Structure 1
Amino acid sequence: MARSAEFVERHPMTPSPTGTASQDRTVGYALTGACGGFARTLLATTRRTDGVRPTVLCDRDTEGVHALARSLGHGADELVTAGTPEEVAEITRSGRIAVVGEIDLLAGADYDILVEATGSPAAGHRAARRALLDGRHVAMVSKEVDSVAGVALATLAADRGLVYTPAEGDQPANLILWYERLSGLGLEILALGKSGEYDLVYDPEAGTVTQLGTTLPAPGLGALLRLGDDVPATLAARAEAVAGLKRSAAADHCEMAVVASATGFTADTPALRYPVARVSELADVYAHREHGGVRDRDGVLDVFSVLRLPEEASFAGGVFAVVRTHDDETWETLRAKGHLVSRDGRYGCLYLPFHAMGVETPATLRRAVREGAGVSSRPPRQHAVLAGRAATDLPAGTTLTLHGHHHEVTGVAPVLHAVDEVPADTAPFYLAAGSRLARDVAEGTLLTLDDLDRPDPELLAAWRAGRSLPRA
């Protein structure tokens, strides 16, 4: 649907999808998953941000959207629920915000860019594809969609002169931008990664470790606060000390799959390493194995579990890059200024200790609409497969249901493989999620496309299209 004359009049800087936009234009966005935690941080931020505003909010819980908006200070007359495309068009033309319960109703709205945050692989893909076909840019928050269909959606966007991009505020976009910045400086990047969602906070007085709301005795950690000369041995001992805590998450693997598409980096172990490490140790931990670290090769993606004391600052879900140091004097100067350099001087670690969810996302919306650019300088390709390995015997007829904040699947472990490491018919994790099994799957087996009984056809087609493109 073309933008209405009224919208263009209210937002005179609105460009055509392929045009060059003014740097002071107002960006109108549509938001799916408008009742989620990410949605709140974005709506709260753009409530106070000039030049970026919501036009239409989509969530099945329309009453919840109204309640959220009221809690952020929106007046009762600012948001209006619509049930038809015509009503959506009328509401948005009047300058109010339309609230809709179905993705199909987005077609009636005037907006520049869709922020897709449902977390649903099938619904999120449908929303993003529809937006691109309607001539809108897409900022993807649903990493579940991105890990399956991101390559195909980015190709569709490029063919139509539009932007499809991960959204800043979540770790994939932040890490891709960090990679772009550091590689643009000529630094030789050897490893990329992020911290796990929640820190491990060790209380030396109580001899306990706390992760989010769970506290366990861990008296042995007190003797393991220093890395020691044998890095792998220290890491193994720390892992044993916190073995009662679940530190891995499907969301972590999914985020690294998105980063793999943009950078070509892949995991050097499918389950990811999750070393329990203090931030100051990262350059030593991610040294090559022959230099005492954990890496088997260069070009590695990984996730680490932050170990810190109660009074120490959190890494806050931040991102890092490990680089090779080439000039000793330069890096000794940086070490003296507090930068992380390995004990042998071979490696440095540069990091951003935060990800602020929707607080950062307006930067993506402005860049996409005003500049026609995403967070990556090159088109994504399917360098990795986020697959699922049966953690137990799974009988035919089992429904692989998503559950929990981190979108796990009961009985299926997420694993991240380079595409050349697995058969071509390996099923992506978030295509399998929500499907029924067509046949028995034995414990330890990677799920394949033939194991799935009628997976979402549009999502399957997108996966196959992205998988078929040549990798640079």
Structure 2
Amino acid sequence: MHQLIRQALEQRAAANNPVRIALVGCGRFGTSVAAQISQIPGMLLVAAVDPKIANGQSALEAAGWTRTQWQQVESAKSAAVAADTGHAVLGPDEEILDLLNIDVVVEATGHPEVGAASALRAIRLGRHVIMVTVEADVTCGWALANEARSQGVIYSLTAGDQPGTIMELLDWAQTCGLKVVAAGRGTKFYPSDADGNPSEAFGRYGYNAELVERRRLNPNMYNSFRDGTKAQIEMCAVSNMTGLPPDVRGMHQPSASLHDIPMLFTSKAKGGLLENEGVVDLANAVSLDGQTLVPNHIEIGVWVVVTSEQGLIREDLSFYGLPTDPSGERALLYRPFHLCGVETPVTIAQAALLKTPTGTPQNQPTSEVVAVAKRSLSPGDVLDGSGGKNVGGIIERRSIVARDKLLPLGFAYGAAVNQQVRSGEVIPSAAVPRQTGTLVKLREAANPARDSSK
């Protein structure tokens, strides 16, 4: 596939007909995407959207545009005029993109409602969408994917972020004829971080003010990395792309080295943790003491535990050095890294040139991420979304979320609760007012009978 992509991009570059890309959301991830696009002949970033104009300017500069080569605009019409004179454009919202010649939109705002609306607008304009905002994907990604199919365009999560990287590894395994027992990613989850506050996030990482400012870091996003919510969101995205559910609410997330993973993520009958095989989960790099790290961990990597019904193949998996369980029946495939932003151009090219996604949700979701109170909440307290001080998220099967009318995390952004919720409780949908934005409309249009976000 990569050879096909390179050849197709070389042809586009030779014909002076690059894949034309718009970036919506220019924080750290988005700016890294812009920088990497600048290194690939046959691709061109033509527009950047961010309410913080300085962020968009940084993205355009990273993509190689000098100050005289781009224009700040306020409307679709002025953007079209600027583009006609060969300028890149920068503006505060995605409406400026409406009249432009764009092949692919990269959605990287990090906000579920904004991300869903931006993606839907792009799809209905006939543009492929690369969804970096996983928070939106787990709330309505299946509906966006179905809309994209109806419009004849691609909706995809991105290579380089863990969900896309897991999908690449899992797709390879299944193409080889291997059976997937479990799929997941590494984490570095300290129990003391579970109720973390975004105001403390950068300090817990040891980041200084210069780095935070230069790389446009978002405190809520980095808090979601530390309090565990982001890993739950990302594995929900994998669940909905693959149909693999969590084994239990929130997953097991045991402390595990690389060599522990194939032993832990197998059925209880075979000495593992799982009630059922064929699931998503997490391998924690933090030891049981909650302070030190496990040797030979996979904190920023991804993994898939596989097996085969063919005995010779099981023997070969062990023979060629893969970590296995004691029986040799379960083997570990893994990639020890992921490169956010750096690998997104691969997904852009797949969508634009091969008309295939890195990974896309199935027609209906397998799982949701539900909102959990990080502290006791009283009527009037405002939920502040993923990485906030009041709320976090954990994965649960969609059927249980619908049955028990639990609040998806995507609806916990700015809503005030109307009842007491104890710390650690999953928040019911009835605890917040009914919402009416793009997320709700997409979900209800896709499956009104099962939607629990009332």
> How many Å apart are 1:464 and its aligned residue?
2.9
Which of residues 427, 432, 449 is equivalent to 2:412? Answer: 432
Which of 48, 71, 75 in structure 2 is aligned with 1:57? 48
Please state how far the C-alpha of 1:456 moved relative to its aligned partner: 4.5
Instruction: Report deviation, 1:302.
Output: 0.8
CA displacement at 1:289 relative to structure 2: 1.8
Q: How does 1:245-260 map to 2 (within 5 A)?
A: 248-260=227-239
1:11-26 correspondence to structure 2 within 5 Å: 26=18
Secondary structure of the corresponding residue to residue 276 of structure 1? coil
SS at match of 1:173: helix
The AA in structure 1 aligned to 2:52 is: D
Deviation at 1:328, TM superposition (A): 4.2
Measure the CA separation in 2 of the matches of 1:467 and 1:354: 37
Partner of 1:345: 328
Q: Is the 8 A contact 2:142 2:361 kept in 1?
A: no
Counterpart of 1:120 in structure 2 is 111
Matched to 1:258, the amino acid is A
Task: Tell me if structure 1 keeps the 8 A contact 2:253–2:281.
Answer: yes
| Residues 361-380 of structure 1 aligned to structure 2 (within 5 Å) | 361-376=344-359, 379-380=362-363
Q: CA deviation at 1:379?
A: 3.3
Matching residue within 260, 273, 276 for 1:294? 273
Q: Does the Cα contact within 8 Å between 1:387 and 1:417 map onto a contact in 2? A: yes
Tell me if structure 2 keeps the 8 A contact 1:172–1:258: yes
Instruction: Flag the 1:247–1:283 CA change in 2: closer, same or farther, 3 A.
Output: farther
Corresponding residue of 1:5: none
User: How far off is 1:385 after superposition?
Assistant: 1.6
1:358 is matched with which residue: 338, 341, 345? 341
State TM-score, norm by structure 2.
0.81
Write the deviation string for residues 266-313 of structure 1: whole angstroms up to 9, x where unpaired: 111212222221123221121222222222211211111236999x88
Distance 2:54 2:400 in 1: 47
Alpha-carbon spacing, 1:469–1:182, altered in 2? closer, same or farther (3 Å): farther
Instruction: Determine the structure 2 residue equivalent to 1:408.
Output: 387
In 1, are the aligned partners of 2:317 and 2:331 still within 8 Å (CA)? no
Query: In the alignment, what sits opposite 2:217?
Result: none
Give distance in 2, aligned partners of 1:83 and 1:247.
37
Q: How big is the shift at 1:460? A: 1.3
What root-mean-square deviation, in Å, do the aligned CA atoms of Structure 1 and Structure 2 show?
Answer: 3.1
Structure 2 stretches of 5 or more lacking a match?
Answer: 1-8, 192-203, 208-224
Q: Structure 1: how far apart are the matches of 2:320 and 2:286?
A: 23
Q: Which residue of 2 aligns with 1:8?
A: none
**Structure-2 change in CA distance of 1:254 and 1:26 (3 Å):** same
Q: Which residue of the other structure, out of 154, 164, 171, is the alignment partner of 1:173?
A: 164
CA contact (8 A) 1:180 1:376 kept: no
SS in 2 for 1:409: coil
Measured in 2, the distance between the counterparts of 1:90 and 1:116 equals 24
Q: Give the whole-Å Cα distance in 1 for the aligned partners of 2:148 and 2:322.
A: 39
**Aligned mates of 1:58, 1:29 — CA distance in 2:** 12
Cα distance, 1:94 vs. partner?
A: 2.8
- Equivalent position of 1:163 in the other structure: 154
CA distance in structure 1 between the aligned counterparts of 2:402 and 2:93, rounded to whole angstroms: 37
SS in 1 for 2:396: strand
Residues 331/106 of structure 1: CA separation in 2 closer, same or farther (3 Å cut): same
In the TM superposition, residue 199 of structure 1 has moved relative to its aligned partner by 10
AA aligned opposite 2:400: E
Equivalent of residue 394 in structure 1, options 358, 368, 377: 377
Cα distance, 1:329 vs structure 2: 4.2
1:167 maps to a residue whose letter is: T
Distance 2:361 2:378 in 1: 42
Q: State whether residues 385 and 418 of structure 1, in contact with CA within 8 Å, keep that contact through their aligned partners in structure 2.
A: yes
Residue 301 (structure 2) pairs with residue 318 (structure 1): yes
Report the Cα distance in structure 2 between the residues aligned to 1:163 and 1:132, rounded to whole angstroms: 8
What residue in structure 2 maps to residue 40 of structure 1?
31
Cα distance, 1:408–1:43 mapped onto 2, change above 3 Å: same
Q: How many residues get paired? A: 407
Q: Report the Cα distance in structure 1 between the residues aligned to 2:255 and 2:205, rounded to whole angstroms.
A: 16
**8 A contact 2:154–2:351 mirrored in 1:** yes
**Alignment partners' CA distance in 2, 1:141 and 1:443:** 30
> CA shift at 1:23, angstroms?
11
Conservation of the 8 A alpha-carbon contact between 1:266 and 1:384: yes
SS state at 1:359 partner: coil
* Mapped contact 1:391–1:412 kept (Cα < 8 A): yes
SS at match of 1:408: coil
Q: Any conservation in 1 of the 2:20–2:43 contact (CA below 8 Å)?
A: yes
Comparing 167-176 with 333-342, which one deviates more in the overlay? 333-342
Once the two structures are TM-superposed, the CA of residue 68 in structure 1 deviates from its matched residue by 4.8
* Residue in structure 1 matching 2:429, options 425, 449, 452: 449
Indicate conservation of the 8 Å contact 1:331/1:341, yes or no. Answer: no
Give the TM-score, by structure 1 length. 0.78
Q: Percent identity?
A: 24
Residue identity matched to 1:156: E
Instruction: Tell me the alpha carbon deviations over residues 225-275 of structure 1, each in whole angstroms, 9 at most, x when there is no partner.
Output: xxxxxxxxxxxxxxxxxxxxx965111111111111111111112122222
- Residue aligning to 2:201: none
CA positional deviation for 1:45: 0.9
In structure 2, the residue matched to 1:152 is 143
Corresponding residue number in structure 1 for 2:19: 27
Matched residue SS, 1:271:
coil
Three-state SS of the structure 2 residue aligned to 1:387 is strand
Tell whether the 8 Å contact from 1:60 to 1:102 is kept in structure 2 after alignment. yes
Paired position in structure 1 for 2:179: 188
Q: Which stretch shifts more, 326-335 or 337-346?
A: 326-335
Q: Which residue of 1 aligns with 2:93?
A: 102
**1:213 CA drift (Å):** 4.2
- Asked if 1:87 corresponds to 2:66, the answer is no
Alignment CA distance shift 1:300-1:394 (3 Å): same
Asked if 1:335 is matched to 2:296, the reply is no
Instruction: Between 414-423 and 164-173, report the one with greater CA deviation.
Output: 414-423
Describe the SS at the equivalent of 1:279: coil
Deviations 1:146-180 (A, max 9, x none): 01110111111111111111111111112122222
Distance 1:41 1:199, change over 3 A: farther
1: CA distance, partners of 2:133 / 2:34: 17
Deviations 1:51-106, CA, capped at 9 Å, x for gaps? 11111001111123324544665422222211121121122233321111112222
